[in-house]
Amino acid sequence: MTRPTPKEIKPIAQVSGIPVDDEIATRISNAIGPAFEGFAAIAGTLPFDLEPASYVVAQTQKVSK
């Protein structure tokens, strides 16, 4: 799996029910890109996928104290 571009992130987020604009798609790409690059050597051998569409949900949830 290669580092997702903002152009790829927008439709994935849209399908997931979390529409994002160009700026947010770019921020998501920049934020998760290093993880994709770090896992490139073992891509396809892990039992999970990195999912950029849920990034906005995780970033906007309020944390209870």
Per-residue pLDDT reduced to its tens digit, 23-53: 999 999 999 888 887 877 776 666 555 566 6
Q: 16 is in which domain, residue-wise?
A: 6-62
CA distances from residue 20 to 17, 32, 48, 53 in whole angstroms, order as listed = 10, 15, 23, 9
The percentage of the chain sitting over the pLDDT mark of 70, rounded to a whole number, equals 68
Average pLDDT over residues 3-11: 90
Is residue 1 situated within a structural domain? no
Instruction: Count structural domains, the chain.
Output: 1
pTM, two decimals, is 0.57
> Of all residues in the chain, what percent carry a pLDDT higher than 90?
29
Note whether residue 26 is domain-resident. Answer: yes
- Residue 63's SS3 state is coil
